[in-house]
Structure 1
């Protein structure tokens, strides 16, 4: 195992909020649960739910997918390679969109201050 790899931490060793979120996640894309539904069932804020999911993946070694498909939106536990690939694709798509937003913001700042892009980057 590489130094940065994480073995999946047992559920009973997770913080309470993480256990609450994880306990509501079901196997398979068709059983995805929305942040709003998790929030209604747990009382945990939507921001904190997303933080918990991120930490479950990054810090605790869980495999959790997300989907924005109309009838299958929300978080789920992937059970097939296809669902695992979807989980990665969804994140890659978000990364591209965030990168586009970052570039546009830098360009807009440069335009606002009448400076070149390199200068705008230094000022942000």
Structure 2
């Protein structure tokens, strides 16, 4: 696992511990001055490359990113990811099996 660079550390420091008050993407954009793509990319690197336990809540008004601190939060963060994987797998299967007009 590589050491965090300054940008990664800065973003990690902005994330709250626990899912009670997650930090919304819009707020992270405002605090960093970065684009949404850059914030999401940095969060992805923190998770995938640096193994940081970062979760997200998607329901309004309490949506945003947070650092996972327990198994309940881990389950809450995994549920929408698992659902998205299932939807995308089904979509890929349908596209892969579609009859083409040629």
CA RMSD in angstroms comes to 2.0
- Aligned partners of 1:65 and 1:75 also within 8 Å: yes
Equivalent position of 2:101 in the other structure: 114
List structure 1 segments (4+ residues) > 2 angstroms apart after TM superposition: 97-107
Q: Does residue 81 of structure 1 match 2:71?
A: yes
Is 1:20 aligned with 2:4?
no
Distance 1:47 1:100, change over 3 A: farther
Q: Report the TM-score when normalising by structure 2.
A: 0.83
Rate the CA distance shift 1:85–1:106 in 2: closer, same or farther, 3 A.
same
User: What is the CA-CA distance between 1:55 and the residue it aligns to?
Assistant: 1.0
Q: TM-score, normalised by structure 1?
A: 0.70
Q: Which has the higher helix share?
A: 1
Give the conservation status (yes or no) of the 8 Å contact 1:34–1:74.
Answer: yes
The structure showing larger relative contact order (alpha-carbon pairs under 8 Å, at least 6 residues apart) is 2
**What residue ranges of structure 1 are gaps of 5+ in the alignment?**
1-5, 116-124
Deviation at 1:17, TM superposition (A): 2.0
Q: Which runs of 5+ in 2 are unaligned?
A: none
Out of 38, 44, 51, the residue aligned to residue 61 of structure 1 is 51
Paired positions, count: 102
